[in-house]
């Protein structure tokens, strides 16, 4: 079953986003592994030659910068990390480009921040640029813009795994491949000799999250938790993710041949429209609206718009047009949506019938607090 599925996914994935993490691209002392970069570039060239469109999300700027500046240890303070990444980013692209050129291909540097993807216009500009690069037969090589973004360098969450997921959703790519130093998602700590790779994940549940055994080290920051979050973002939008070992120099080639390697995460439901992907899986929400059980059902099960009458609470400092979380009475996120009213307005009209909104606010531009066309369910629709 899984093998047939893999073969079908491999055969139909005309556009593949590949994310390569720090652990694969750097030696244990943190410096850049140029041999691995050359292998990736060669593999990417072959796949481009075979007619697939490929996008690479590559970490490794800090490692490359350490090489250049002859640092033996990864800096721990932010400004120095950013400086090292700025030096290294140029080296990283150069290293990819050298091998790509041997195969008649070119790499293009694309540096992005989470905020770039929050803005609808910038988001569409990024999409247009990437699509044009693909039409030129060029390999876009994406990294977070470390000079301005601090998330990926310092925190445990906003890392290249999630950036890769957002780029996959932006391009509507059918497959995201995340390459790391592990063979896939293990059913227990990777250090445990009994640990087995889970070949396929059908559903995101609490048990899945319980397999995460991240130990934070100085090297990479995302860990398996952020890989699972990336997989959730992509599969909820209706596409596929494979986590596999980047230590295998043929990993992508094998995946494209439909071989059973790594962990395959299957789509969680129907394919989600491009605009709803942006709302649900790209933008960072600016606040939270808590709704009662009836409104939760209306949104989640009946696909209805959210009305003020079902709102019981509001948090955050959002404006009209911002994306907010919609949470049920127990606090669980039900959906994300573009709100028609600011946080201050929602606080005044919560629990109110729609025809009374203008009595309170003096105007009522919209009957719905969030229109259903602007709502994306956080769990896939059946
Ligand atoms: N259940 C698990 N299965 C596999 N790897 C896991 C698991 N839980 C935690 N990990 C850790 O996730 C690490 C990979 O993530 P990360 O360090 O962010 O690598 P990368 O630099 O490739 O992004 C592995 O080295 C492993 O220690
Ligand atoms: N952007 C930085 C850090 C990337 C990073 O740590 O990411 P990852 O290894 O994917 O968790 C770099 O290129 O070195």
Tell whether the model's pLDDT for residue 157 goes beyond 80: no
pLDDT digits over 118-147, tens only? Answer: 888 999 999 999 999 999 999 999 999 988
365 CA distance to ligand 1 centroid (A)? 48
> Domains of the chain by range and CATH?
2-276 (3.40.1160.10), 285-377 (2.30.130.10)
| Closest ligand 2 atom to 59 CA | 13
* pLDDT confidence of residue 72: 87
287-306 residue pLDDT tens? 999 999 999 999 999 999 99
Q: Give the Å distance between the CA of 58 and the centre of ligand 2.
A: 8
Exposure letters 21-57 (e unless 16+ CB within 10 A, then b): bbbbbbeeebbbbbebbbbbbbbbbbbbeeebbbbbb
74 CB less than 6 Å from ligand 2? no
Query: Is the pTM above the cut of 0.95?
Result: no
Q: Whose CA is nearest to atom 14 of ligand 1?
A: 223
Q: Was 143 annotated as part of a binding site? A: no
CA–CA gap between residue 90 and residue 76 (Å, rounded)? 21
- Ligand 1 mean position to 323 CA, how many Å? 31
On the question of pLDDT at 150 being above 70, the answer is no
Question: Is 67 close to ligand 2, i.e. is its CB under 6 Å away?
Answer: no
């Amino acid at each position: 079953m899984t093998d047939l599925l893999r073969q079908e996914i491999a055969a139909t994935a005309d556009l593949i986003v590949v994310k390569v993490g720090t652990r694969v691209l750097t030696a244990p002392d943190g410096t850049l592994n140029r041999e691995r970069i050359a292998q990736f570039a060669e593999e990417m060239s072959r796949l481009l030659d075979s007619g697939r469109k490929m996008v690479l999300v590559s970490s490794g700027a800090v490692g490359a910068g350490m090489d250049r500046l002859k640092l033996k240890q990864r800096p721990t303070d932010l400004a120095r990390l950013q400086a090292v990444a700025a030096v290294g980013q140029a080296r990283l692209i150069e290293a990819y480009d050298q091998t790509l050129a041997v195969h008649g291909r070119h790499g293009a540097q694309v540096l992005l921040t989470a905020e770039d993807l929050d803005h609808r216009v910038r988001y569409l500009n990024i999409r247009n640029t990437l699509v044009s690069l693909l039409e030129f037969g060029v390999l876009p090589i994406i990294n977070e813009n470390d000079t301005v973004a601090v998330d990926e360098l310092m925190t445990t969450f906003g890392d290249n795994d999630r950036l890769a997921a957002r780029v996959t959703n932006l391009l509507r790519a059918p497959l995201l491949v995340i390459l790391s130093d592990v063979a896939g998602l293990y059913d227990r700590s990777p250090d445990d000799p009994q640990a087995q790779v889970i070949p396929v994940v059908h559903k995101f549940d609490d048990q899945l999250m319980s397999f995460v055994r991240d130990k934070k080290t100085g090297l990479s920051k995302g860990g398996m938790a952020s890989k699972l979050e990336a997989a959730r973002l992509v599969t909820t939008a209706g596409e596929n993710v494979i986590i596999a070992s980047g230590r295998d120099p043929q990993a992508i080639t094998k995946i494209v041949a439909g071989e059973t390697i790594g962990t395959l995460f299957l789509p969680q439901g129907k394919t989600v429209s491009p605009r709803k992907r942006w709302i649900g899986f790209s933008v960072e929400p600016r606040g939270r609206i808590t709704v009662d059980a009836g409104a939760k059902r209306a949104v989640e099960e009946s696909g209805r718009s959210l009305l003020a009458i079902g709102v019981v609470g509001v948090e955050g400092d959002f404006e009209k047009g911002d994306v907010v979380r919609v949470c049920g009475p127990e606090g669980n996120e039900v959906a994300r949506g573009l709100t028609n009213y600011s946080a201050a307005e929602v606080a005044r009209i919560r629990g109110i019938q729609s025809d009374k909104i203008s009595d309170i606010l003096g105007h009522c531009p919209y009957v719905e607090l969030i229109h259903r066309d602007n709502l994306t369910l956080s769990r896939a629709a059946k």
